[in-house]
């Protein structure tokens, strides 16, 4: 299961959520606009602690819980490479997200099986942010445990959450919801009943919603859709467009720098993936 690049995209968007206070908000916005991922990765840990402090000060503050969940998911999903750290930090992100999603459901809230379905059935537009934080954190948590079949089995429920968000707010996060659904729709190969046309629609909608500024959309469309259907021409065209584009795009700059790195790596291995005859 290759979700890491998707999480780099949706994780970076989570950095714009405030860790708490105007200073943290300014730092998060600056991080999104920076073109040096290593510098951002080195600078952010202090703001994770700030997010923890905000939750400890107000443990039933839904906004604080959502901010902490998205900040931890962003950091673990996009900027941490050590597997043990990714697992540990993604556990914290998912814990905060679950607490946020359960606030309105009261005691006894469960987010698995029928309990999860009941929470989703009762969700309204007010629940979009906590549910989106839950879906993103859950996907980061699963990716951090990609060799664990038990964790991978939870993907279907994480997707249920994401689809409920899409039903309530299909354009949320500058196309981020559609981007994630595009990847998830492409995970099942066409030969096994997958629906590449559904994946294509999600990717194309994400491109429209972002105004073409999110280069990661094209990278993931190449990696997951073009490869799934064996379309080398589409694959290479999308990746070359990414490499030819200016990564400077306001709050999408950090994500775009990561997208360009991923595009180069995908092009370098294209002959092996498609065969020399391409």
Interval 135-187: pLDDT, tens: 999 999 999 999 999 999 999 999 999 999 999 999 999 899 999 999 999 98
What band does 43 get if pLDDT is binned at 50, 70 and 90?
confident
Interval 215-266: pLDDT, tens: 999 999 999 999 999 999 999 999 999 999 999 988 899 999 999 999 999 9
Neighbouring residues of 52: CB distance < 8 A, sequence distance ≥ 6:
68
Q: Which helix (H) or strand (E) holds 130?
A: helix 128-143
**pLDDT at residue 11 greater than cutoff 70:** no
**So where are the chain's domains?**
1-169, 185-278
Its pTM stands at 0.87
Q: Which of 111, 113, 118 is nearest to 134 (CA)?
A: 111
Q: In angstroms, rounded to a whole number, what is the distance separating the alpha carbons of residues 140 and 161?
A: 14
**pLDDT at residue 211 greater than cutoff 50:** yes
Measure CA of the first residue to CA of the last residue in the chain; give whole Å. 24
**Structure confidence at residue 17 (pLDDT):** 46
Whose structure tokens read 């709050």?
Answer: 251
For 52-121, the DSSP string reads HHHHHH-TT-HHHHHHHHHHHHHIIIII---HHHHHHHHHHHHHHHHHHHHGGG-TT---SHHHHHHHHH
Q: In angstroms, rounded to a whole number, what is the distance separating the alpha carbons of residues 79 and 93?
A: 14
Q: In angstroms, rounded to a whole number, what is the distance separating the alpha carbons of residues 261 and 247?
A: 11
CATH code for the domain defined by 1-169? 1.25.40.920
**Structure confidence at residue 30 (pLDDT):** 82
Q: 132 and 173 in contact (C-beta within 8 Å)?
A: yes
Neighbouring residues of 99: CB distance < 8 A, sequence distance ≥ 6:
59, 65
**pLDDT at residue 83 greater than cutoff 50:** yes
Inter-CA distances, 155 with 77, 117, 144, 150, 184, Å: 16, 14, 12, 10, 9
Q: In angstroms, rounded to a whole number, what is the distance separating the alpha carbons of residues 254 and 237?
A: 22
> What is the mean predicted confidence (pLDDT) over 202-217?
95
**Structure confidence at residue 189 (pLDDT):** 81
Token digits for 25? 């908000």
Average pLDDT, the chain: 88
């Amino acid at each position: 299961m290759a979700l890491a690049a998707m999480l780099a995209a949706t994780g970076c968007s989570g950095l714009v959520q405030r860790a708490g206070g105007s200073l943290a908000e300014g730092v998060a916005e600056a991080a999104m606009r920076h073109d040096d991922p290593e510098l951002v990765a080195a600078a952010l840990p202090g703001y994770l602690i700030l997010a923890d402090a905000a939750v400890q000060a107000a443990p039933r503050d839904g906004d604080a819980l959502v901010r902490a969940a998205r900040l931890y998911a962003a950091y673990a999903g996009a900027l941490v490479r050590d597997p043990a750290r990714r697992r540990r930090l993604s556990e914290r992100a998912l814990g905060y997200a679950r607490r946020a999603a359960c606030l309105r459901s009261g005691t006894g809230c469960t987010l698995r099986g029928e309990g999860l379905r009941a929470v989703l059935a009762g969700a309204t537009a007010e629940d979009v942010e906590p549910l989106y934080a839950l879906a993103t954190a859950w996907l980061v948590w699963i990716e951090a445990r990609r060799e664990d079949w038990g964790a991978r089995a939870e993907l279907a429920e994480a997707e249920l959450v994401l689809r409920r968000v899409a039903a309530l707010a299909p354009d949320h996060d500058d196309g981020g919801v559609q981007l994630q659904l595009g990847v998830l729709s492409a995970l099942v190969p066409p030969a096994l009943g997958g629906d590449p046309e559904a994946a294509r629609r999600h990717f194309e909608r994400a491109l429209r919603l972002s105004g073409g500024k999110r280069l990661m959309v094209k990278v993931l469309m190449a990696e997951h859709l073009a490869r799934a259907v064996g379309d080398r021409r589409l694959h290479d065209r999308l990746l070359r467009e990414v490499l030819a584009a200016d990564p400077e795009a306001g709050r999408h700059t950090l994500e775009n720098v990561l997208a360009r790195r991923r595009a180069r790596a995908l092009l370098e291995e294209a002959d092996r993936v498609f065969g020399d005859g391409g």
